[in-house]
Amino acid sequence: MSDSSQQILVIDDDPVFNRVLSRALKQRGHSVVSACSAAEAGEAIPAARAARVVLDLNIAGTSGLTLIAPLLAANPACRIVVLTGYASIATAVEAIKLGATHYLAKPTDVDAILAAFEATAPQAEQAAPPSQPLSVDRLEWEHIQRVLKEHDGNISSTARALKMHRRTLQRKLMKRPVKS
């Protein structure tokens, strides 16, 4: 078994993605422990004390962000990369504030995940503003996500804050995020 600095805990509720990612990490010489639910992750965290964690943002309807504190309690030096299929600025900021090392949007590859573990600060090209501003639809999506976070996910109070009908907000949230 590899030393603990190479051990990676993969927490993702998609069993296929979890299995493929775990296999790819093992092929690169890492010791891998995987969990497909928040309950499995809760059991694995104290035992694994992993130095690196790949954490899905949404684990079967549970926020993966709730696992960051226990992960850091088990190993304060743990480096956590949060993955999500529904990236938003609000959740990225929240993940970093809670102690995640990096935040990546799916789909991503193993090399990007491993590079994210090593990243200490954004590269100059990553920190540069985008050559094109975000579309109005993307800005709306980001704003809705921020207000939704401020209202702890409560759709009705978010709709009131946005001065929008609740059903309209629900329809907007059912759609995938707009590309930048």
The helix or strand, by DSSP H or E, that contains position 80, with its residue range, turns out to be: strand 79-84
Q: Poorest-confidence range of 54-58, 79-83, 173-177?
A: 173-177
Which tens digits make up the pLDDT trace of 126-143?
434 445 666 777 778 778
More confident: 126 or 153? 153
Query: What percent of the chain has a predicted confidence (pLDDT) above 70?
Result: 86
Decide if pLDDT at 120 tops 90. Answer: no
Q: Does residue 87 sit in helix, strand or coil?
A: coil
pLDDT reported for residue 180? 55
Sign of CA dihedral 121, 106, 82, 2: negative
Which tens digits make up the pLDDT trace of 51-79?
899 999 888 778 888 999 999 998 888 89
Decide if pLDDT at 165 tops 90. Answer: yes
Alpha helices in the chain (DSSP H): 15-27, 38-48, 68-74, 89-98, 110-118, 124-127, 136-150, 155-162, 166-174
Is 0.75 surpassed by the pTM of this model? no
pLDDT reported for residue 7? 84
pLDDT reported for residue 6? 66
Which tens digits make up the pLDDT trace of 1-27?
444 456 899 999 888 888 999 999 999
By the 8 A CB rule, do 63 and 91 touch? no
Q: Domains of the chain by range and CATH?
A: 4-123 (3.40.50.2300), 136-174 (1.10.10.60)
pLDDT reported for residue 131? 55
Please give the average per-residue pLDDT across 85-97, as a whole number: 81
Angstrom distance (rounded) from CA 58 to CA 81: 13
